[in-house]
Chains A and B, each alone.
Chain A
Amino acid sequence: MGNSVEVKNVSKRYKLYKKQSERILDLLVPYKEYGEDFFALQNVSFDVERGSIVGLVGINGSGKSTLANIIAGVIPATSGQVTSDGNVALIAVNAGLDGKLSGRENIELKLLMLGFSKKEIAAMENEIIEFAELEKFIDQPVKTYSSGMKSRLGFSISVRVNPDILIVDEALSVGDKAFSEKSLDKMMEFKEKGKTMFFVSHSISQMKKFCDQILWLEFGVVKEYGATKEVITKYESFLEEYKALSKTDKKKYRNRALNRQSKKNEEPAEIL
């Protein structure tokens, strides 16, 4: 089987400005850099085979969501390339919904933006409402929804759109158990159909159950990439170790990582 997603040397640079004035100077003054660089991702490369499910793990701030957003094409990479062989859908907790419009109108609006025709939208609408289990709330404005309801709606829309590649960014952690199981079933169905999926979560048990490969990010660089069993065991033992560190050691560890993230193109050196 060929590769479904190829990520090549992807870096994402953010600028940190101390003052607002630096921000404007950086825009206006050519050939001069203001502000401090911060690399959320550095030279991330990996390939994903068609039909496999990749879990993204890493502690907070390791760049999981940034990577998910770049693969989905929501934010541009500063350098490097992402190629994917189909349309990608990203499901995130706060997926763009208009709070003033009703759930139904949001469904229509989202589908419209994704390029579906009026007929197709009408056909998909009921299925989405049913899957989202929103029943009588569907005509209420979305701003009155609970976070679980919002993410159910977002998930249902993205799933019904039938993407070739699906990225789930911690969206399932807010739903109740029944719904997250239903969603996992749906994702299993996708897996059987041979769709590629990415899965961002802090739940190691979900990862074990579900993923074929694990990509372990550590402060913007790939620490490990491989079969779930191997990587997840290493990650678990790392977590133990990290938890056991004293406060000052944790701080030292983070500072070293932050230092590295402000410079470009450095080898993913061993930090611990």
Chain B
Amino acid sequence: MKSAMIVLKEQVKFFYLVKRLSVYELRSLTRGNYLGAAWEIINPAIQILIYWFVFGFGIRQREAIGDIPYFQWMFAGILVWFFINNSIMKSSKSIYSKIRMLSKMNFPMSVIPNYTIFAQFYPHLVLLAVGMVFLQFLGYPVSIYYLQLPIYIIGLLLFLFSFSLITSTLSTIIRDVQMLLQSVMRMLLYLSPILWPPTLLPDSWQPYMKLNPFYYVIEGYRYSLLGEGWYFLENPIYTLYFIGIVAITFLVGAYLHVKFRSQFIDFL
């Protein structure tokens, strides 16, 4: 509880640092390529095409999901997955790769995973905007359901930050965590409602699939972008579950982070 307060206070007090450091982080990431930041769009575009080719065209024979064509269904879900995947991978190694740059112990270290997440957040917003434009032409125009999107965005940011407190601490201490995480993320891509609808599974499996908090966020995005309904209102218990998961993850993350942060530099 105490460490949670420390971390929270640091986020509020140093939010200007998060904003400005994330800009440099983004620059550092895109520097060196001729197309620079354009890769933030090109890369997802290529992946979307190949997933559509394999799962929409090849395996499923362009079969619609409910009354939504496969491409639109997959597109609305995968947009947020790129952000989830990148920020989890980048933020988990953030502390051990940045700590040398700081060269000062009194730097509020809990800011580090946060600004690496934010550096991924800007391209996500651009991708989201591009995606929205595309959806206009694919038969899903702007609707009132867009209004719920900020809820999932904020929820996701909170979860990603809480989770990154755990992973960045663990991967600083044991580098293998990074490799494990890579496999887990690849697994989650197939266990989340992104490439195929888990509703195809027997009913008894459904609750277990929903334990994955990204399930909530991805479905939320999809409901907003495709105007399917008010997801958080239609699934109140699931919403509460998500809030609970965020809170627990944050408490655990803050505890681990504060406990080990004075020793981070010794683990390098």
Chain A residues in the interface with B (C-beta under 8 A): 14, 24, 27, 72-76, 90, 92, 95-98, 100-101, 105, 108-109, 112-114, 141
The residue in chain B whose Cβ has the minimal distance to the Cβ of A15 is B266
- Report the separation of the CA atoms of residues A190 and B208 in the bound assembly, to the nearest whole angstrom: 66
B24 within 8 A of A: yes
Please state if B21 and A75 are interface contacts (CB–CB under 8 Å): no
Number of interchain pairs (Cβ within 8 Å): 59
Please state if A74 and B104 are interface contacts (CB–CB under 8 Å): yes
7 further contact pairs, Cβ within 8 A, besides A75-B105, A75-B266, A113-B21? A27-B173, A75-B265, A76-B265, A76-B266, A95-B103, A98-B24, A113-B107
27 residue pairs A–B, Cβ–Cβ below 8 Å: A72-B103, A73-B104, A73-B105, A73-B106, A74-B103, A74-B104, A75-B105, A76-B262, A76-B265, A96-B101, A96-B102, A97-B101, A98-B101, A100-B29, A100-B31, A101-B24, A101-B27, A101-B28, A101-B31, A105-B24, A108-B24, A109-B101, A113-B17, A113-B21, A113-B101, A113-B102, A114-B104
Q: A73-B106, A100-B31 are in contact. Are A109 and B24 (CB under 8 A)?
A: yes
Chain A residues near B106: list those with CB within 8 A: 73
Chain A residues near B173: list those with CB within 8 A: 27
CB distance from A107 to the nearest CB of B (A): 11
By secondary structure, the B interface counts as helix
- Report the separation of the CA atoms of residues A109 and B103 in the bound assembly, to the nearest whole angstrom: 13
CB distance from A169 to the nearest CB of B (A): 11
Please state if B103 and A96 are interface contacts (CB–CB under 8 Å): yes
Chain A residues near B104: list those with CB within 8 A: 72-74, 113-114
- Report the separation of the CA atoms of residues A27 and B29 in the bound assembly, to the nearest whole angstrom: 33
B100 within 8 A of A: yes
CB distance from B206 to the nearest CB of A (A): 36
Please state if B105 and A109 are interface contacts (CB–CB under 8 Å): no
CB distance from B103 to the nearest CB of A (A): 5
Interface residues of B in 89-148 (CB under 8 A from A): 100-107
Q: A27-B173, A96-B100, A96-B101 are in contact. Are A109 and B31 (CB under 8 A)?
A: no
Please state if A105 and B265 are interface contacts (CB–CB under 8 Å): no
Q: A96-B100, A113-B102 are in contact. Are A74 and B20 (CB under 8 A)?
A: no
Q: A96-B100, A113-B104 are in contact. Are A141 and B31 (CB under 8 A)?
A: yes
Please state if B28 and A100 are interface contacts (CB–CB under 8 Å): yes
- Report the separation of the CA atoms of residues A76 and B20 in the bound assembly, to the nearest whole angstrom: 27
B20 interface neighbour in A97, A98, A112, Cβ under 8 Å: A112
B32 within 8 A of A: yes
Please state if B28 and A98 are interface contacts (CB–CB under 8 Å): yes
A24 interface neighbour in B17, B29, B102, B174, Cβ under 8 Å: B174
The residue in chain A whose Cβ has the minimal distance to the Cβ of B111 is A113
The residue in chain B whose Cβ has the minimal distance to the Cβ of A91 is B103
Please state if A74 and B105 are interface contacts (CB–CB under 8 Å): yes
The residue in chain B whose Cβ has the minimal distance to the Cβ of A94 is B100
